[in-house]
Protein backbone atom coordinates (compact mmCIF):
# COMPACT_ATOMS: atom_id res chain seq x y z
CA UNK A 1 0.00 0.00 0.00
CA UNK A 2 1.28 3.46 -0.85
CA UNK A 3 0.13 6.79 0.55
CA UNK A 4 -0.05 9.96 -1.56
CA UNK A 5 -1.68 13.35 -0.95
CA UNK A 6 -4.74 12.11 -2.89
CA UNK A 7 -5.27 8.76 -1.21
CA UNK A 8 -4.09 5.32 -0.25
CA UNK A 9 -3.45 2.98 -3.18
CA UNK A 10 -3.30 -0.76 -2.54
CA UNK A 11 -1.96 -2.02 -5.88
CA UNK A 12 -2.30 -5.64 -6.90
CA UNK A 13 1.18 -6.58 -8.07
CA UNK A 14 1.94 -9.44 -10.45
CA UNK A 15 5.61 -10.35 -10.73
CA UNK A 16 7.27 -12.90 -12.99
CA UNK A 17 10.86 -14.03 -12.64
CA UNK A 18 12.36 -17.40 -13.35
CA UNK A 19 14.01 -19.21 -10.43
CA UNK A 20 17.78 -18.95 -10.42
CA UNK A 21 17.87 -16.12 -12.98
CA UNK A 22 19.79 -13.02 -11.87
CA UNK A 23 18.15 -9.96 -13.42
CA UNK A 24 19.83 -7.18 -11.42
CA UNK A 25 22.01 -6.09 -14.35
CA UNK A 26 18.92 -5.46 -16.47
CA UNK A 27 16.20 -2.86 -16.02
CA UNK A 28 12.96 -3.91 -14.36
CA UNK A 29 10.04 -3.90 -16.80
CA UNK A 30 6.83 -2.41 -15.38
CA UNK A 31 3.70 -3.16 -17.41
CA UNK A 32 0.62 -0.91 -17.24
CA UNK A 33 -2.58 -2.21 -18.84
CA UNK A 34 -5.29 -0.36 -20.74
CA UNK A 35 -8.78 0.72 -19.72
CA UNK A 36 -10.88 -2.19 -18.38
CA UNK A 37 -7.80 -4.45 -18.36
CA UNK A 38 -5.73 -5.94 -15.58
CA UNK A 39 -2.14 -6.85 -14.83
CA UNK A 40 -2.89 -10.33 -16.16
CA UNK A 41 -3.15 -8.89 -19.69
CA UNK A 42 0.66 -8.81 -19.84
CA UNK A 43 1.26 -12.25 -18.31
CA UNK A 44 2.29 -13.92 -21.63
CA UNK A 45 4.79 -11.11 -22.35
CA UNK A 46 6.10 -11.24 -18.80
CA UNK A 47 6.56 -15.01 -18.97
CA UNK A 48 8.47 -14.70 -22.24
CA UNK A 49 10.77 -11.95 -20.92
CA UNK A 50 11.29 -13.23 -17.38
CA UNK A 51 14.47 -15.15 -18.21
CA UNK A 52 16.24 -11.82 -18.79
CA UNK A 53 14.23 -9.20 -16.90
CA UNK A 54 12.38 -8.72 -13.66
CA UNK A 55 8.82 -8.25 -14.94
CA UNK A 56 6.15 -6.54 -12.82
CA UNK A 57 2.60 -5.47 -13.66
CA UNK A 58 0.12 -3.48 -11.59
CA UNK A 59 -3.67 -3.43 -11.64
CA UNK A 60 -4.43 0.25 -12.15
CA UNK A 61 -6.82 2.04 -9.77
CA UNK A 62 -10.42 1.11 -10.55
CA UNK A 63 -9.29 -2.12 -12.25
CA UNK A 64 -8.70 -5.67 -11.07
CA UNK A 65 -7.92 -6.05 -7.39
CA UNK A 66 -6.35 -2.62 -6.77
CA UNK A 67 -8.21 -0.53 -4.22
CA UNK A 68 -8.03 3.17 -3.55
CA UNK A 69 -9.16 5.09 -0.49
CA UNK A 70 -9.62 8.78 -1.22
CA UNK A 71 -8.17 11.12 1.37
CA UNK A 72 -9.33 14.33 -0.30
CA UNK A 73 -12.63 16.08 0.19
CA UNK A 74 -13.96 15.42 -3.33
CA UNK A 75 -14.81 11.71 -3.43
CA UNK A 76 -17.32 10.68 -6.10
CA UNK A 77 -17.33 9.68 -9.75
CA UNK A 78 -13.91 8.98 -11.27
CA UNK A 79 -13.93 12.10 -13.43
CA UNK A 80 -14.64 14.20 -10.33
CA UNK A 81 -12.21 12.40 -8.06
CA UNK A 82 -8.68 13.76 -8.03
CA UNK A 83 -7.32 10.41 -6.77
CA UNK A 84 -8.34 8.78 -10.10
CA UNK A 85 -6.76 11.37 -12.41
CA UNK A 86 -3.79 10.60 -14.67
CA UNK A 87 -1.66 12.93 -12.56
CA UNK A 88 -2.62 11.40 -9.19
CA UNK A 89 -2.32 7.86 -10.52
CA UNK A 90 1.15 8.61 -11.91
CA UNK A 91 2.22 9.92 -8.49
CA UNK A 92 0.88 6.74 -6.87
CA UNK A 93 2.68 4.52 -9.42
CA UNK A 94 5.95 6.44 -8.94
CA UNK A 95 5.55 5.96 -5.18
CA UNK A 96 4.91 2.23 -5.73
CA UNK A 97 7.99 2.01 -7.98
CA UNK A 98 10.10 3.34 -5.09
CA UNK A 99 8.35 1.13 -2.50
CA UNK A 100 8.80 -2.01 -4.63
CA UNK A 101 12.37 -0.98 -5.46
CA UNK A 102 11.66 -1.22 -9.19
CA UNK A 103 13.89 1.78 -9.94
CA UNK A 104 17.05 0.05 -8.71
CA UNK A 105 19.51 -1.78 -10.88
CA UNK A 106 21.86 -0.81 -13.62
CA UNK A 107 19.38 0.92 -15.88
CA UNK A 108 16.35 1.86 -13.78
CA UNK A 109 12.72 0.99 -14.50
CA UNK A 110 11.27 0.68 -18.01
CA UNK A 111 7.51 1.32 -18.15
CA UNK A 112 5.57 -0.43 -20.90
CA UNK A 113 2.03 0.84 -21.30
CA UNK A 114 -0.97 0.16 -23.49
CA UNK A 115 -3.74 2.75 -24.00
CA UNK A 116 -4.52 4.18 -20.52
CA UNK A 117 -1.32 2.53 -19.26
CA UNK A 118 0.59 4.24 -22.08
CA UNK A 119 -0.69 7.66 -21.01
CA UNK A 120 0.52 6.87 -17.53
CA UNK A 121 3.88 5.68 -18.88
CA UNK A 122 4.36 8.97 -20.74
CA UNK A 123 3.36 10.97 -17.65
CA UNK A 124 5.78 8.97 -15.50
CA UNK A 125 8.64 9.56 -17.95
CA UNK A 126 7.86 13.27 -18.16
CA UNK A 127 7.30 14.05 -14.48
CA UNK A 128 8.95 11.18 -12.61
CA UNK A 129 12.14 10.69 -14.61
CA UNK A 130 14.10 9.65 -11.52
CA UNK A 131 12.03 6.46 -11.26
CA UNK A 132 11.63 5.81 -15.00
CA UNK A 133 14.53 5.16 -17.37
CA UNK A 134 12.36 4.59 -20.43
CA UNK A 135 8.71 4.65 -21.47
CA UNK A 136 7.27 2.48 -24.23
CA UNK A 137 3.74 3.47 -25.18
CA UNK A 138 1.29 1.75 -27.52
CA UNK A 139 -2.12 3.02 -28.69
CA UNK A 140 -2.18 6.35 -26.87
CA UNK A 141 -2.53 10.09 -27.16
CA UNK A 142 -0.83 12.71 -25.03
CA UNK A 143 -4.02 13.57 -23.12
CA UNK A 144 -3.10 13.74 -19.46
CA UNK A 145 0.60 13.17 -20.07
CA UNK A 146 1.53 16.83 -20.30
CA UNK A 147 0.95 19.13 -17.34
CA UNK A 148 -1.42 21.31 -19.42
CA UNK A 149 -3.07 18.18 -20.98
CA UNK A 150 -3.46 19.14 -24.65
CA UNK A 151 -5.06 16.36 -26.67
CA UNK A 152 -2.05 15.92 -28.94
CA UNK A 153 1.21 17.76 -28.84
CA UNK A 154 4.20 17.84 -31.11
CA UNK A 155 6.17 18.88 -28.03
CA UNK A 156 5.81 15.64 -26.09
CA UNK A 157 8.67 13.62 -27.66
CA UNK A 158 11.08 16.55 -27.34
CA UNK A 159 9.96 17.28 -23.77
CA UNK A 160 10.51 13.67 -22.81
CA UNK A 161 13.99 13.51 -24.28
CA UNK A 162 14.95 16.84 -22.65
CA UNK A 163 13.48 15.78 -19.27
CA UNK A 164 16.04 13.05 -18.77
CA UNK A 165 18.22 10.72 -20.76
CA UNK A 166 15.19 8.41 -20.76
CA UNK A 167 14.11 7.15 -24.14
CA UNK A 168 10.52 7.40 -25.27
CA UNK A 169 9.06 5.04 -27.82
CA UNK A 170 5.51 5.69 -29.03
CA UNK A 171 3.62 3.32 -31.27
CA UNK A 172 2.53 3.94 -33.95
CA UNK A 173 5.74 5.80 -34.88
CA UNK A 174 3.82 8.41 -36.87
CA UNK A 175 2.45 9.89 -33.62
CA UNK A 176 1.52 12.68 -32.97
Do the domain assignments include residue 176? Answer: no
Winning range, highest mean pLDDT, from 16-25, 36-45, 66-75, 98-107:
36-45
Confidence of residue 176 (pLDDT cuts 50, 70, 90): very low
Do the domain assignments include residue 155? Answer: yes
Do the domain assignments include residue 138? Answer: yes
User: Percentage of residues in the chain with pLDDT exceeding 90?
Assistant: 27
Q: Is the dihedral of CA 123, 159, 157, 101 positive or negative?
A: negative
pTM for the complete prediction?
A: 0.76
Pick from 97, 167, 52: nearest CA to 89: 97
Average pLDDT, the chain: 75
Do the domain assignments include residue 156? Answer: yes
Q: What is the pLDDT of residues 10-33, one digit of tens each?
A: 999 999 877 766 666 778 899 999
Do the domain assignments include residue 141? Answer: yes
Angle at which helices 116-127 and 156-163 cross, to 10°: 50
3-state secondary structure 66-105: CEEEECCCCCCCHHHCHHHCHHHHHHHHHHHHHHCCCCCC
User: What pLDDT score does 44 carry?
Assistant: 92
User: What pLDDT score does 128 carry?
Assistant: 83
Q: What is the pLDDT of residues 133-169, one digit of tens each?
A: 888 888 877 665 555 433 333 444 444 444 443 444 5
DSSP assignment of 107-164: S-EEEEEETHHHHHHHHHHHH-TTTEEEEEEES--STTTSTT--SS-TTHHHHHHHHS
Do the domain assignments include residue 29? Answer: yes
Q: Is the pLDDT of residue 109 over 90?
A: no
Query: Tell me, what CATH number does 89's domain have?
Result: 3.40.50.1820
User: What pLDDT score does 165 carry?
Assistant: 39
Pick from 93, 84, 85: nearest CA to 12: 93
Give the structural domain span for 102.
2-171
Q: Is the pLDDT of residue 132 over 50?
A: yes
Amino acid sequence: MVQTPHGEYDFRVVETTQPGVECSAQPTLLFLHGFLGSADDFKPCMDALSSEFRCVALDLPGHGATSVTCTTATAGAAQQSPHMSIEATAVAIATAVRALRLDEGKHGCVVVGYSLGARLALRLALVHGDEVAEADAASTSAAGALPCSPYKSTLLPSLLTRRSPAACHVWPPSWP
